[in-house]
Amino acid sequence: MAETVTITDNRTGRTIEVPIENGAIRATALAELRGDAEDHDGLMSYDPAFINTASCVSRITFIDGDRGILRYRGYPIEQLAEQSTFLEVAYLLVHGELPAPAQLAGWTHEITIHTMVHENVKRFMDGFHHDAHPMGILLSTVGALATFYPDATRIHDEEQRRISIYRLIAKMPTLAAYAYRHSKGLPYVQPDNELSYPANFLSMMFRMVEPRYLAVPEIVRALDVLFILHADHEQNCSTNAMRAVGSSQPDPYSATAAAIAALYGPLHGGANEAVLRMLDRIGSVDAVPDFITGVKAGKERLMGFGHRVYKNYDPRAKVIKAMADKVFEVTGVNPLLRIALELERIALEDEYFVSRKLYPNVDFYSGLIYQALGLPTDMFPVLFAIPRTAGWLAQWEEGLLDKEQRIARPRQLYLGSGERQYMRPHEHAGDARPADGKPARAQVLA
């Protein structure tokens, strides 16, 4: 059987045979098909939102959305969540292999010694308004970090890339915690290098006057598992931003700031925050049926449900749901859990959700756990950004070293007007907008 596809251009009768490699054809092969002599670009493929277009080759994360499978470097997410730690998983993502004990010790040491931030970074953060969203603070401060490490622009130097990777993974919890402390008007807490990665983060978040803050081990472990589950997810919106920005070859701090900006949106990393706000708004189990009716009528979305890739239960949501009981044993049950369970029960039986293959995604339950751990709602996307930084960096470096990659520059189908001659304002009727710039009523109705 030939591993090719034959395409006939019915405009010209021309046929081309295009090789299939790894289940894909190269879109550039279509350019050979030209409508006429004037058609210089040839045939393009049109795929808004990359529904069926691979933008890269990757060896990092595998997802089978129909079967609900997620693996990092071949290892099932369930095994990693059960047995590994976030720092070990971060090593796996970046290096491709699980670390031997000495490698893990070296990696942990490098990350731990880079957790502090320059005093000027703190002053920079002080400039934000007291009610600034912590995700906005995080994305600006990560971008600003680039100016503290000018050598980070030497991205073709492996040693420089390593240091940037250590620094970014190390400083994200510090910056995240400082964004929170700033919003509360609390002093910044120095990292405690004796603590594990998640325990140190909790200490920087919550330490007050006590000489040392030691979080409950179950809570530390729950946070570590949440970090593992969020560490990578192949070519999602923020990873695509990381790769696209990285393709123009700026320093990785700038690319990471772009990825954080992409993660900020409510359809991506902002969803866990949106889920909590939705549950708060629903308010009680009795109100769930009315809410579902509104969703089905298209008034709003059931946040935390649906996924571009998973058309089955998100495997991360399964792990989180199972973990919730253990966390609630320590923290007490989150009262919003009953509303979430009822939403899930109704949605999984309802034809609207079943026919569209809408299942709970990772964010449906993660917010409930974060809230039970005492983490405020507007910190949820920040909590997502901390571990995802490991995945972003692994993907950024993979893209950078991929000889086939070039600056990311999608094509467009231009449907605007043809060439027009410029006229001064008094020479034409304008665009039918009144002077206030709002569209004329006739246009709105049209």
Q: Can you give the binding site for ligand ACO, defined by CB under 6 A?
A: 267-268, 271, 295, 301-308, 356, 358, 361-363
Of residues 224, 232, 363, 378, which has the active-site annotation? 363
Q: Note the helical H segments in 247-361.
A: 252-264, 271-282, 288-296, 315-331, 336-349, 351-355
CA distance 88 to 104: 7
Instruction: Select 195 or 276, whichever has its Cβ closest to ligand ACO.
Output: 276
Sign of CA dihedral 404, 405, 406, 412: positive
CB 190 within 8 A of CB 152: no
Q: Is 95 a residue of the active site? A: no
Instruction: Select 224 or 273, whichever has its Cβ closest to ligand ACO.
Output: 273
Which residue of the chain is nearest ligand ACO when measured via CB?
306
Contacts of 161 (CB under 8 A, 6+ apart): 155, 252, 397, 400
CA distance 352 to 358: 9
CA distance 434 to 441: 10
CB of 389 to ligand ACO, least distance (A): 15
Instruction: Determine how β-strand 69-72 pairs with β-strand 61-64.
Output: antiparallel
Contacts of 355 (CB under 8 A, 6+ apart): none
Query: What are residue 54's DSSP bridge partners?
Result: none
CA distance 200 to 190: 9
Instruction: Select 320 or 362, whichever has its Cβ closest to ligand ACO.
Output: 362
CB of 336 to ligand ACO, least distance (A): 16
CB of 352 to ligand ACO, least distance (A): 7
Helix-helix angle 134-148:158-184, to 10 degrees: 140
CB of 350 to ligand ACO, least distance (A): 10
CB 380 within 8 A of CB 390: no
CB of 348 to ligand ACO, least distance (A): 13
Of residues 268, 325, 378, 431, which has the active-site annotation? 268
CB of 284 to ligand ACO, least distance (A): 20
Instruction: Select 218 or 350, whichever has its Cβ closest to ligand ACO.
Output: 350
Of residues 192, 233, 307, 378, which has the active-site annotation? 307
Is residue 374 helix, strand or coil? coil
Inter-CA distances, 395 with 54, 140, 252, 388, 390, Å: 14, 21, 11, 11, 9
Q: Is 268 a residue of the active site? A: yes
Instruction: Select 277 or 308, whichever has its Cβ closest to ligand ACO.
Output: 308
Q: Is 182 a residue of the active site? A: no
Amino acid at 99: P
Instruction: Select 125 or 302, whichever has its Cβ closest to ligand ACO.
Output: 302
Instruction: Select 255 or 263, whichever has its Cβ closest to ligand ACO.
Output: 263
What is the H or E stretch that residue 159 is in?
helix 158-184
CB of 296 to ligand ACO, least distance (A): 8
Task: Give the residue numbers marked as catalytic.
Answer: 268, 307, 363
